[in-house]
Structure formats: structure tokens, C-alpha cells
Structure 1
């Protein structure tokens, strides 16, 4: 991937900063932190942050601290998500709560959050802390809104967009905005890259919704969101546009038969027949184009091209 080639030195420096930040004098905490460090994912948020910073100039110490903060916040959120969801696996490895039980996992997530914030506080990166604090508040609010709407089976498309904006897009917006704030001086440019990140985040989540249906023969288990009664875009569109009889059948599956593989397969077929997949993909492409329109306001460069490639990777990925 072009982004990783361009950022080879920056990513090495970032990972050194992150590793240093995850160390602990407490043996149990240190073991958990090292374990999490070894199963890290694609680190998309730090990559976006570093690239947005590079659009404005060379990365600096503040940039690396911001990248470490966004990654520790992201890891902390995954640790807590696994506890809430009773997940035993994360990225084909055991989750923290599977290995150390929920009590230790809660504290591990809390420590991750605290470590990231303290790193920025110690260096007086107040603008960055403000950006991420606002994003964390919105993310938590989004989770709570989704819980309330899940209980009532929300079928409102606008509510759905607001939930994914808060839950997913806000954190990517914060990453791009924070990265830009370390090298740009023009508030308008910083804001523009924040908008870019938000649009990418929206497209990212809609793609995730599509992948939950096992589309494109990726071999992904079908229906995790449906089992949790999460109303994602393909299903919302289908329920609002299908025959009333079919709608009642689908609602029955969502409410009472969401562990039946045969019923889930029927639901998937109805979503396809109603055009739910095509509709969601069209919305994803719209958000992708909105992101690119904002990106194209910046001069053409290798950094801008790497960001463009990353946007297409996110919307064309198979998993």
C-alpha cells in the first residue's frame, strides 16, 4: 500500500512511541499491554492522522503523540467492546477478557485511555486533547443511542446515519483533524480535513454493514449485526420498501429467529431482492465521493494520492 511506503519512517517512529507508552511497571498490566501490542490491527486511524499531518508539512513530536493517543483510544474501545459483547476472539486471537477475565479487561481499557491522555497532557497538547475528548463523548453517545434504538428496532434512515457518524465517523474525523492541527496553521484547512475524515468514516461503516451479510463471497459469518438486532442500512432500506407480508416475516426473524441460519439466509435473499445491497453501496460511494471532493481541494502530491488510495481501499476491501 502506497501510504505505508510513504510513511515507513513515520510509522516506525509512531510504533516506538506507542510501545514506550504501553509499558508498565506493574507485571500484570505490562503483560496485557504487550499482548495487545502484538495483536495490533491495520492501524488505519494513525495512518490517516500521519498522512493528514504530512499534507501540511513534516510530522513532529506532537504528531506522534496524537497518533499514539488515537491508537490507545481505539484499542481501549475494542477491549471494552469485547467485554460488553462477551467476545472471546479479536483479530483471530483471544480477547483480553478471555485470557484475563472481564474485571482485569475493564481496568486494562481504562489504563489505555489514561495513558494516551496523560501523554498529551504532559506535553500540553491541549488542542489535540480537546479534539479527541469531543470525539469520545460523541462516540459514547452514539453507542447509547444505538442501544435505545435497538430495543425499538429503529427503521429511520436519518437516525441510522447519526448513529454511525457518532460511533465510527467521529473518531476518524478527530484523527484527521488532530493530525492536521500539528502541521497546518489555517483553521479552515484543519476543518476541511476533519470533514474529509468524517465522510471516510461514514463510508467505512456502511461497507462494514455490507460485509456483515457475507457479500462478495468473503467467507465472513453472516448476520452478526442481525443477531444483535442492529438495524443497518441494507435492512432499513428493505423493511421500508418491501411487501408488508415480507416485512412481518423479516421482523419475526430479527426478533425471534436470528440464530436460525436458514432464516438468516432467507432474510439475506430478501434484502438482495429489495435492492438493499445496491442502495447501501450507492450511499457508501456517495460518502466516498464527498470525502474525495474535500481531499481534492488540496494540491496534488504523493501524500494526497496515498490518502486517495486509502479511501478506495476502505470501500473496496473484502473484510
Structure 2
């Protein structure tokens, strides 16, 4: 589960990464007698190992160019043949990353993204930005997915640096169905409080929002609290930061630039430039690709100029 959690910002739902891990651990920290057939082992510092994976995997992926390459028909293009886009592509295809890391190296590591330069030249269907790259190829940028990523990282940053709690100026009352109210437990209310939202009972099947993070004013406060509450009530395992981030992702989606919205060249370029400053620019918060690339070689191959 730690691996899937670490890939959360990089893969769409129901997509699963293929990962091979090789650990070098002191034998004294490993219990091999947990299972009679030795199919399971137990680490004495499982939580520390889990945190290493949560820190290490995003660090490696953030420093790796994860541009989704456009899938091309291997048989080439003829008038009577199939379309260039043959099958829905896997979201992320990248080279295998190898390396040895210690706890200290992980703590000191910094995300370094490759330097990319894209120049916007147009827009397709009011949805996809067309931009040329410095190597003679071009990319398509999903403007909604790009705006989602930009807003998501912006609001996550605000949440991380500004933990001030305020009381809503206008009283905020959340009404619930009896079936929903039955799911409200002290444990779930405590999880909400860890996200900065404090609720108190207010009549029958209603709750008053007593405290809310100051940065949440960037959103519709009611919708934000309702989103958090919905996530908490329908989960068995509670991770306050994960719940908060999922709510931020949902609100970022609703606040982002939409498809079928015409942009000027300047607006397109500004969006691309902002996207490339993100920590994880290649996917939206839900794991969909923001950029699909067509290399110069891809173009030459499509027009049969490569000799193959």
C-alpha cells in the first residue's frame, strides 16, 4: 500500500505500478518466522520503511521526465489504414530508475526536473494546447489537466505553510441525513479536527462549523467541509493529510480552466510556463497526463522518412 500511496500523484485510479525493490537490511531487524511457509516476513521498523518508500518514490519520479509519448500505429499510415492513435496508451512510460539510497540521502534529496522549453503555437478544440519543443517535435497539453495540477500544488502549498485556524464569519451549518449522521463518531470528528475543521453538534442531524483553516477561504467553505466530511464518513482508515489532499484535488478540479475554452497565445504560454514550474508537472492530481509528446522521429516515422 505504501507504493500505491507514493504513486498517487502519478497514476490514474485502477492503474498500478510495476516496482521491484531490493532491500539491504540488518538481519536482526527481520523476523522470518511469521509464516510457516516463509511466505511473509516482518520488519521491526515497518513504519520507518514505509516512510522511506513514501519519500523516495516521488523523489525519483519527480526527477524523471514522465512525458507521455503518443502511441503510433506500427504499420505506418495509409489512407486505408487505421488511425495514428491505435489503442489507449498507458498513462506513464519511463525508463527504469536504479539507485541506492540511505535515510540521510533521502532527507537531503531535492526534486530536480529536466529543463523543458515549449512554445505555444495554437489550440485544438478549445481544449488542447499545441506547442513546439526545442528538439523539433511538438506536444499537446490538456489545458484543464494542466490547470488542475497548478491549482492543486498552489493550494497544497498554502495549506502547508499557513495552518492558522479561524471561525467562519457567517455561521456555517451542515445538515446531514440520518443515515449519514449515524456514521459520525468521535474518531471521525477527531480526524476532521486534524485537517483543521472543527464541528460541534447543532440540533438534530446538524453540525456547526466552529473552526476552519484560513486558506480554505480560497474555496467555497461549505463545499470544502462537505467534501472533507464525505471522505471521512466513507473511509475506514483515516489519514488526515490524505483526506485533506483529496478534498483539495476535488476543489482544484472544479476551479480549474475548463475544456472548450478559447485562449490567446499569451494565455496558453503562461499556462505552460506555470505548469513546468510544478513539482509534478506531467500528471494532474488524479493521475491523468497533462502533456503528450510527439518527437521529431515520430513525425518522420509517420511520414515514412526514416527508412523503416
Q: Would you call these one fold, judging by a TM-score over 0.5?
A: no
Larger fraction in strand: 2
Which has the higher relative contact order, 1 or 2, with Cα contacts under 8 A spaced 6 or more apart?
2
TM tier relative to shorter chain: under 0.3
Q: State the TM-score, normalized to the length of structure 2.
A: 0.23
Larger fraction in helix: 1
Q: State the TM-score, normalized to the length of structure 1.
A: 0.22
